[in-house]
Amino acid sequence: MNLDKTRHLPVVTSSPHVRSTDSVRSIMLDVLISLLPALLVGVFTFGPRALVLTVISVGSCLFFEWGFSRLVHKKNPIGDLSAAVTGVLLAFNLPVAVPLWMPVVGALFAIVIVKQLYGGIGKNIFNPALAARVFLFLAWSSAMTTWTLPRAVLPWFANVADAVTGATPMAILKEGSTSGLDLMAMLTGQTGGCIGETSALALLAGGVYLLIRRVITPRIPVAYLGTVALLSLLFPKTGSGLDWMLYELLGGGLMLGAIFMATDYTTSPSTIRGQWIFGVGCGVITIVIRYFGAYNEGVSFAILLMNAFVWMIDMAAKPRRYGLRRFARLREKFGAKHAGEREAQK
Amino acid sequence: MAHSFRGGIHPDPHKETTAGRAIEALPAPPTVQIPMSMHIGVPAEPLVKAGEHVKMGQKIGDTDAFVSVPVHATVSGTVKSVGMALHPNGARVMSVIIENDGQDELEPLARAMEWQMMTQDEMIALIREAGIVGHGGAAFPTHAKIRSALGKVDAMIINAAECEPYITSDHRVMLEYADDVVAGIRILLRIFSRIRCIIAVENNKPDAVESLRRAIGADNRIKIDLLKTKYPQGGEKQLIRAVTGREVPPGKLPADAGCVVFNVDTVAAINRAFTQGLPDIQRVVTVSGSAITTPKNLLVRVGTPLSALVAACGGYREEPQKMVMGGPMMGVAQFSDEVPVIRGTNAFLAFSENEDRRVDDPVCIRCGRCVQVCPMRLLPTYLYLYASHDMWDECERMHVADCMECGACTFECPGSLHLTQMFRVAKAKAMELRRR
């Protein structure tokens, strides 16, 4: 067959002429899949109300994403599934006894204010789910800190009037105590806490899936968890460092934060060194808040604080330019040799 | 341990369709179209007029410029016309069109003696007279490269990485012309005395390594290094880094890192020039892609229209949606298959589907994959952001000029951004800015 030039001409574009098959949608789908184990454990632990909250949260995130794009005449973006991921993560950050309108307000805040007003996917500075969680936490503190016991029987839809509450591991740790804590329960998620944060095992399984699918790299989780582990090992509030370290690692939202929140593409550095710095920074702030802050848990604040530094971290952690020797940038900046040139440039 | 560099990607190689096929010699076509510019540098001036009879290998274009090479007739016959004609780069350039008389009457390169007796200057002059340019794609004049490197380098690297998907022409050259390659290396080793030579091959071509080893025999001046299979392993700067651990300083030549790099097929062409008196008038071209009926490796005369190559491969299986001269990562898209094979043409690919997935609304989700894969260690995500806001001075400050347009970032981008394309613009704009 010859080329028929009368019919059409082949496409001429700038190279490269092939692309990998990954898309935003395929990545977000992988993230959703990786969140499934934690969701299952959450529903098993806290009952069907957990599922109801998640569905409402996802639904309202998708709705606000669609609604906002309608309002500003943008193409409907919900097909990229990023709003669905935000929805699941937001639900994971809620106690199961919150009223059902709470995730709707959270979704509004996350999608419209934190994400879309900044320009939509890829442009937000703060993690939408985390920012919404902190907003709800500050606005409705008591509802957001009412921790029901695992396996408590809760109504599916009605407001929870008199929940049987208990202290979460983080509250116990805050007191500098470890009495009553059970590592096995913390691994499997049979403790008080938010819907999706309690089972370290399920979250780790999701993390392994993301690593295998190359959606995330181990850098941020390893730096984050490693820093928390090291600091708690060195400075236990009580008992042996090793025990204390395990409780700190498995308690609260650390696993959820380190694996799923701090690794959010848009709000974390893209340079390799930057990712290490970011993880370590999250770890340090988490421990500082847990040890000295007014709140029991510091993961959300730690990640949000570090979110604000992403651009700066990336610029500082730029990889060494090809062809330059080590520390060339430092020399360029501070070395006496180049001072004259700098003056001349000014 | 295979040598490598930081970054890079692993595109689907698609090499199996042609890697096992022996090189077929394509008979010279009835007419050849030979552009006066098939290299980086000053175009040659035509030396012949319409109606003149030329022999195969006769010089039909030349200039006095240093970074340039003469151009030769690739068939014997009559010059049909001298004028502007379509070049694979998309422009119309001065070209000589020769009607083939089918005699292949050769005018060999003028040589006074065997190369073992020649002086360094004579040898380099012969390489220039033979019109030899880099066969890897960029087509930099080889004599200019040698001159720039003389006395500065201690390592000669033979680039046999062939990291672009689909292309197997160098692979076949190593299998079938290994003796030519090694003989060419020995010629270069005489020009660069006291230098070590490393042939760098990706570790997915063990048969090529075996074939080269046999050809090298006991010659301990030549060593083979295995490279990790990844793109762009054959990029000059990545290759130097992988083989020697050195890096070429920004804006400098490989010679400044003590290295000189030649493509494996270039070396074979050098040997043909010295032993057979044959100038750079033929080369091996991989013809492949989903729209080609029988993908093949063809030995063709420079100036042969691409359509003749396709016909030799059984024609198009389907209407091609995209045609590319060169590899899918860095090759140049073609809208016509009537353009000629030039000295730097290592492949012609035709795809029945445009595999470059384009979307209406590319979006950056800041996943950072481009940063992880960039072999020049740039920050494509930030460069793109600056470039899309016309902040060319910021692009310049972030060294957009270092971008070698390998396309790794664009390949990897899940948001389907046109990163490489944007950086081409940014490089030009930054250059403009610097000139002012």
Identify the CATH number of the domain in which residue B194 sits: 3.40.50.11540
Q: Give pLDDT, residue B150.
A: 92
Residue A346 pLDDT = 43
pLDDT above 70 coverage of chain B, percent: 100
**A3 assigned to some structural domain:** no
Give yes or no for a cis peptide into B141 (omega within 30° of 0). Answer: no
Res A140: pLDDT = 94
Residue B407 inside a domain? The answer is yes
Q: What is the pLDDT of residues B203-236, one digit of tens each?
A: 999 999 999 999 999 999 999 999 999 999 999 9
In a domain, B138, yes or no: yes
- Per-residue confidence band for A153, with pLDDT thresholds at 50, 70 and 90: confident
Query: What pLDDT score was predicted for residue A335?
Result: 64
Q: B224 in a domain, yes or no?
A: yes
Task: State which residues form the domain around A288.
Answer: 24-155+167-316
* Cα Rg, chain A, nearest whole Å: 23
Do residue B243 and residue B388 come from a single domain? no
Q: What residues of chain B, 76 to 105, have a C-beta less than 8 Å from chain A?
A: 90
Q: Of all residues in chain A, what percent are helix, strand and coil, respectively (each to 5)?
A: 60, 0, 40
- B125 and B228 in a single domain? The answer is yes
> H or E segment at B135?
none
Among the candidates B276, B295, B320, a domain finishes at: B276
Last residue within a domain, chosen from B215, B243, B276: B276
Catalogue the long-range contacts made by A233-238 (C-beta closer than 8 Å, 24 or more residues apart). A235/A291, A237/A173, A237/A176, A237/A291, A238/A176, A238/A177, A238/A178
- Interface touch B320/A318, C-beta < 8 Å: no
- Rg of the Cα trace of chain B? 21
Q: How far apart are CA B76 and CA B53, in angstroms?
A: 8
pLDDT digits (tens, 9 = 90+) for A214-248: 999 999 999 999 999 999 999 998 888 888 999 99
Mean pLDDT across B324-349: 94
**Closest Cβ opposite residue A16 in set B252, B337, B411:** B411
B184 touches chain A (CB under 8 A): no
- A54 vs B1 pLDDT, higher one: A54
Q: Are residues B262 and B381 in the same domain?
A: no
* Cβ–Cβ under 8 Å, residues A15 and B331: yes
- Collect all residues of chain B within an 8 Å Cβ-Cβ radius of residue A217: 372
CATH number at residue A307: 1.10.3430
Q: Which two tokens stand for residue A214?
A: 């190359």
Domain membership of residue A4 (yes or no) is no
Q: Which two tokens stand for residue A322?
A: 């090809």
Q: What is the pLDDT, as a whole number, of residue A161?
A: 67
Q: What is the pLDDT of residues B115-166, one digit of tens each?
A: 888 899 999 999 999 999 999 878 999 999 999 999 999 999 999 999 999 9
| Nearest Cβ partner for B328 among A17, A27, A265 | A17
- CB neighbourhood size of A69 (10 A): 16
Q: What is the pLDDT of residues A9-27, one digit of tens each?
A: 788 889 899 999 899 999 9
d(C-alpha A145, C-alpha A156), whole Å: 19
Domain with B191, as residue range(s), is 16-20+110-276
Q: Which residues contact B361 (CB under 8 A, 6 or more apart)?
A: A75
- Reference B133, options B229, B266, B331; nearest CA is B266
Predicted local distance difference test score (pLDDT) of residue B112: 64
Looking at the structure, do residues B121 and B258 belong to the same domain, yes or no? yes
Given B276, B292, B323, the domain boundary residue is B276
User: Residue written as tokens 């609304």?
Assistant: B361
Question: How many domains does the structure of chain A reveal?
Answer: 1
- State how many domains chain B has: 2
Distance from CA of A224 to the nearest CA of B (A): 18
pLDDT in tens, B80-114: 999 999 999 989 999 999 999 999 989 888 776 78
CB contact under 8 A, B416 and A19: yes
Pairwise CA distance, residues B118 & B98, whole Å: 34
In a domain, B261, yes or no: yes
Q: In the prediction, which pLDDT does B359 show? A: 80
Confidence of residue A344 (pLDDT cuts 50, 70, 90): very low
Q: What is the pLDDT of residue A163?
A: 66
Exposed/middle/buried for residue A308 (C-beta within 10 Å: 0-12, 13-18, 19+): exposed
- Is residue B310 domain-resident? no
Nearest CA-CA distance, residue B170 and chain A, Å = 21
pLDDT of residue B434: 81
Distance from CA of B333 to the nearest CA of A (A): 5
